[in-house]
Every structure is written in C-alpha cells, then in structure tokens.
Structure 1
Amino acid sequence: MRRRVLLAGIAGGSAAVAAAGLWRAWDGPEPVRPPAPAGVERLERVWSAARGREVDFYTAVPHGHGDGHGLPVCLVLHGGAKRPPDFAALGLGGFLTDAVRRGTPPFVLAGATGDRLAWRPSAADDPQRMAAEEIPAWCAARGFDPARLAAWGWSMGGFGALLLAEARPGLLRAVAAFSPAVTPGDAVFGGITRLGDTPVGLWCGTGDPLHPNVRALHDALPTPPMAGGYGAGRHHFGYWSTILAPAFAFVGATLHASPTA
C-alpha cells in the first residue's frame, strides 16, 4: 500500500562537535507566527513503559475542531534543543490552525519527550517504540484516530521520523522532515530502501550545514520526495516556521487520502 543524525549520523569526533553547534543554532530568529489562534493544546505527564519513566506528552487540535475526536494524528519528533513543554511557545497550535484555515484537512499534533537519543533504543530506553506504540495508544484514549498516522520532525527528529518509517513499514502514511540530521552511511541511509513508496516531504535551508547531506538523502530516496524544497535558511525555527504551511498541507492531504494498493 502507498502508506507508507543528528545523533545517529553523528557518532563521534568532529561530528559530535557539529551536533553541539546545531543545537546552539536555536539562537536564530524567532518563528514567524501566523495570526491564527491555537485550538485545544494540552501538556500532560504520562508513564512510558518503553522509556521507563514519565514523559511530557503534548497534543494540539486545530481551532474550531473541538477536542479533535476522530481526527488523524501527526507525530511530532523533536530535535535536540526543544521539548514538548516548548511546543506551545513555538506556536505549533497556531500554525496548525493556520494550515487548516488555508484548506489543509484537519489533523492532530502529538509529541512526547524522546531526549537526545536520536529516537533510537539505548539499552532499556526506547523512544522509537514509544513513538510507534505508546503515543498512538495515548491518542486513541483521547479520541483521536491513530489508524491514520504521519510523522513530522526537525533536525534530530527529522532523522528519527525517517528512521521510524524504515523500522516500521506501513505504520506511517507520510513523513515530513525538516533539515534531518543525516549523514551518508548512517542508519537512515542504510535502511533507505525500506521507505518503499512512503510519501516523504523533505525541506532544508541552503545555508544549513546539513544541506549537502540532505540533498544526498534526496537523491538516494527510492521514490522522489512528494513535497519539500531548498530555500534560503539555516538550522533554526526561524527558517522552519516559514515552511510549516506547505509541510502541514502535505501531511494533512496524505492523512486524509484513501490508501491505494
């Protein structure tokens, strides 16, 4: 069916120094927030058996869609410097409402704390399993429809979203990756054929240190990206905020499309 790092690709030495520099890049310009209200946003503490600890769990429903009952879900996989408690301040709820007002079919955002593990298992701590199994279950318990699931992530989270699609073929209807922290030869490149025909959206600023790696990923994908682009910008939410509207439009369209054989 057509449903279908930062730390991972940065394993040591000078690459680790590059990772630290990318985390500091959050000191860039403020997000360009749209004049749209957030709908229902919640931040809760929930127990994650996959991670063996309590985590912050954020959800956002577009304004005008009540509690989001029955809406599909887009997982939010954070990067190295921001966490779910920061999502409301970044304006994610307003960005979601703005996208829907522009004609994007509505969906819910849902994200939990994965820390700096690049969304991969580390001993008994498995944020990837949390994303694949527990977050959908938490969403179902709140009335959302995780049978229709996509993932969006930036930097380390973009790496994690792509890796999740590779590790769990058929789980995600789409992946939107902003400046994913990939490196040729890393786990994402190693499993790239498992993306199959999963719709992928790929964005990166041309001034981002990761831009050459992201273009290499673009060229290596088994199916060309269905959305994305490479405009002027660097590795921070000031740039990423300017591409949220087309990214959310891509996510919403794929979540509401009928899967085809």
Structure 2
Amino acid sequence: MPGERRVAAGGTLRGRAHTLTRRTLLTAGASVAAVAVVGGLAARDLSRPASTPTAGPDVPAGDERLIRIASGARGREVDFWTAVPAGYGGGRGLPVCLVLHGASATPRDFGRLGLARFLTDAVRRGTPPFVLAAATGNRLWRPAGDDDPRRMVREEMPAWCARRDFDSSRLAVCGWSTGGAGALLLAEAYPGWLRTAAALSPAVRPGDEVFADVRKLRDTPVGLWCGRQDNFLKDVRALARALPEPPARAEWTDGRHNFGYWNTVIPDAFALLGAALTPPRAN
C-alpha cells in the first residue's frame, strides 16, 4: 500500500519458514529499524524465535503473528497479536475473538503461554474455527486522558482484522483478571456488538463499573469462570447472580488467580466462543 515500507513477510511464530522473521527479531538488547507490511498493516515485526518454549497442548500453533502497529486511540504503538488455528491458512473469512490481557501478561507473552495451541486443540476437538486477536491495553482497560484502549478495541482492532481478511462482522471477547473485567466493560459499553463475552476470573467488585452497568449485558451471553481458591470468587459469583439473564456458563472449580487455573478452563471458554461465533449472521 502507498506510504508503507516492507521489512518482513508473515511473522509466523511456528511451522513455516522463519528466514526473514529471524533477521528482524527484537531481543532485550536489540531493535529493528525497518517497518513491515503484514496483511496491509504497516508495522515492525516482533516475532519470537521458534525455539521459545511454549505452554499449551501438544499441537501446532497455526499462523501466529506478533507485530507493532500505531494506535490513534492510545496515542502510541502497540503490540498486535493474532492466531489462526492450524489447518486454516491465514484465517480468511474466520470470525474473531478479541482477547484482553490481564496485568500479568501482554500480547508479547501469548506465544509462550500457548494460546494459539489451545485454539488449534479446541478446533480439533470440534469447536467451530475462529481467530484470536489481541492488542496491548492499559492495566484496567479504561480511558485515561488521551489513552483510550476501549476505543482501540471497538474501532481499530476490527479494522486491523478486516485487513487480514478475517470476518470482523462476527466478534466476541475474552479476557482474564483485569482483562476479564475489561471484556465485560466492553460488552456493556457497546450492547449488542459482541456475540458473547467470556471472563476468566474477572477482577470485579460490587459497586464498581461492571456491576453498575450490569443491566447493559442483557442479550449478550456471558461466560464466567473462577477458581475456588481465588480471592475474587465471592465477587464473581455475586456478578453471576446480578446478570440480567442467567450466564451462558458459570463454573467454579479448584484453582487460584493464575495461568495454572486459567489453562484448565480455556478449553471450555473457547468452546463457548466458537459456538457463539457460528454461523454467520443472516442477511
């Protein structure tokens, strides 16, 4: 596209050739000086080396990319991460689950956390295929002065996904901890925009913004998961009771506020998301 310079092709983390990606890796002591065009997006490539240890099921990650892109809503460059299940190429025509990170991880960490592997595993177990997409937000996913991560997710991320030929008309959201609260806030801010909201151990408290606007979640199916040893359990269960409609899923199993627990419920969350994103909307 005019005005966009090229530095690396693809940016795939696993599976395919990494010749160009390896020449443009960012490490703790190095940076890239060039700019990439990835699916029509001008950005620097920040892909991790293929040797980076990853978690998740023992399946391929599929087409997983991490790039740097300018966000007008946040007034800065952000990391933009996408994952397509293995066997679905670049993900053309697939619906999208927007992923909101918590305070303990950002999109740069998603490769080692194995989210793309969980996605491939879910699809192989029968979940309808979809794409994961995430960008760096602030800690609470709330506007702070000129920094508006919520507007970035609402206005910019669907456009970035559309340039990758994903189906941005079919959207859901998923998040954990403060990202789980952010996912619910996003669904409340834009009623009817999202097909479902999945919140893993959302950091919520009675009286906060999520509870204050909980009525706006009517007609948006909500999935809630929280560990029995999590300090937020009492409040998440209170949120489940406060929802204007029964939650699509509400599960309380053993676990704390960490990825050891979240990894156990991601398969259930992905099954809910995949079902909600299929089929396409009727014309």
Give the shorter-chain TM-score range.
0.7 to 0.9
1:36 Cα deviation after fit? 1.2
1:242 Cα deviation after fit? 0.7
Greater relative contact order: 1 or 2 (C-alpha under 8 angstroms, separation 6 or more)?
A: 1
For structure 1, list consecutive stretches of 5 or more residues without a partner in the other structure.
Answer: 1-30
Question: As a proportion of its length, which structure holds more helix?
Answer: 1
- 1:194 aligned residue: 216
CA distance in structure 1 between the aligned counterparts of 2:265 and 2:216, rounded to whole angstroms: 26
Amino acid at match of 1:86: D
CA distance in structure 1 between the aligned counterparts of 2:190 and 2:138, rounded to whole angstroms: 21
Asked whether the equivalents of residues 55 and 113 of structure 2 are also in contact (C-alpha less than 8 Å), the reply is: no
- 2:123 aligned residue: 100
Which residue of 97, 111, 123 maps to 1:74?
97
1:181 Cα deviation after fit? 0.3
The percent identity for this pair of structures is: 62
SS in 1 for 2:62: strand
1:41 and 2:64 correspond: yes
Distance 1:54 1:258, change over 3 A: closer
Asked whether the equivalents of residues 228 and 247 of structure 1 are also in contact (C-alpha less than 8 Å), the reply is: no
Q: How does 1:1-261 map to 2 (within 5 A)?
A: 33-116=56-139, 118-257=140-279
1:33 Cα deviation after fit? 2.1
- 1:6 aligned residue: none
Q: Which of these two proteins has the greater Rg computed from alpha carbons?
A: 2
Tell me how large the CA RMSD over aligned residues is: 1.4
Amino acid at match of 2:217: L
Asked whether the equivalents of residues 55 and 114 of structure 2 are also in contact (C-alpha less than 8 Å), the reply is: no
Q: How many residues in Structure 1 have an aligned counterpart in Structure 2?
A: 230
- 1:7 aligned residue: none
Question: 4+ residue stretches of structure 1 with deviation over 2 A?
Answer: 257-260
For structure 2, list consecutive stretches of 5 or more residues without a partner in the other structure.
Answer: 1-53
Amino acid at match of 1:71: L
SS in 2 for 1:58: strand
Q: TM-score, normalised by structure 1?
A: 0.86
Q: TM-score, normalised by structure 2?
A: 0.79
CA distance in structure 2 between the aligned counterparts of 1:71 and 1:33, rounded to whole angstroms: 22
Deviations 1:139-198 (A, max 9, x none): 001110110000000000000000000001111000000000000000000000011121
